[in-house]
Amino acid sequence: MPKGVPEVIPDDGLTTRQRRQLPVLAVHTGPGKGKSTAAFGMAMRAWNAGMDVAVFQFVKSAKWKVGEESTMLALGDLYEQTGRGGPVQWHKMGQGWSWIRKNDETQDDHAASARAGWSEIARRIREEQHDFYVLDEFTYPLHWGWIDVDEVVDALRDRPGRQHVVITGRYAPEPLMAAADLVTEMTKVKHPMDAGRKGQKGIEW
């Protein structure tokens, strides 16, 4: 598909411009490295286009720091200072969900926290609060049964306006992939950890 030209033009009654402006639901899944990295790259493009970007990280602790977080928040600061790009929010599961507070989390609390995170995201989608959402590692609470897949698919299919959503993580459920406009499966061919090398700063985080 060179230069982004589609191979097939559907007979859907839409003009080329209308079809081009449709919101995108993307899923990055599979066992290979790079799912989140690709999603954050898309988020940077969205920021550059002036979109309101919100990142919600599931599974990862609120204490973990990743390079993309610092970068995206710096871009959010740049927007506040200069008006360039767009606003940025970054939320992580557990105590990173600013709308809930918990001192100690058991395994049961993790599931409840994931559900609370999704409930907040669904509300924001209904109210069209952001233009571009990254739901990082969101496939895991779906795979583990913490969040109802059909409920998520319905909410994403019915989302109003032009809100783009990118979901990352292994084991993406089939109904989610069927509903998505873009599905990419990362397949590991080779990884430094195969040779006993630990992850390093600037490469893994």
What pLDDT score does 196 carry? 79
Claim: this prediction has a pTM higher than 0.75? yes
In a domain? residue 61: yes
Q: Which of 190, 193, 187, 189 is nearest to 30 (CA)?
A: 187
d(CA 28, CA 26): 7
In a domain? residue 8: no
Question: What per-residue string of b and e applies to 167-177 under the rule 16 or more CB within 10 Å gives b?
Answer: bbbbebbeebb
In CATH, what number is assigned to the domain containing residue 149? Answer: 3.40.50.300
In a domain? residue 16: no
In a domain? residue 193: no
Domain of 178 in residue numbering reads as: 22-187
Question: What per-residue string of b and e applies to 87-103 under the rule 16 or more CB within 10 Å gives b?
Answer: bbbbbbbbebbeeeeee
Beta carbons within 8 Å of 10's beta carbon, 6+ residues apart: 19
In a domain? residue 194: no
- Domain tally, the chain: 1
d(CA 57, CA 167): 10
In a domain? residue 38: yes
Residues of the chain with pLDDT under 50: 1
In a domain? residue 199: no
What pLDDT score does 101 carry? 62
Beta carbons within 8 Å of 8's beta carbon, 6+ residues apart: none
Record the tokens describing residue 191, joined without a space: 């990884």
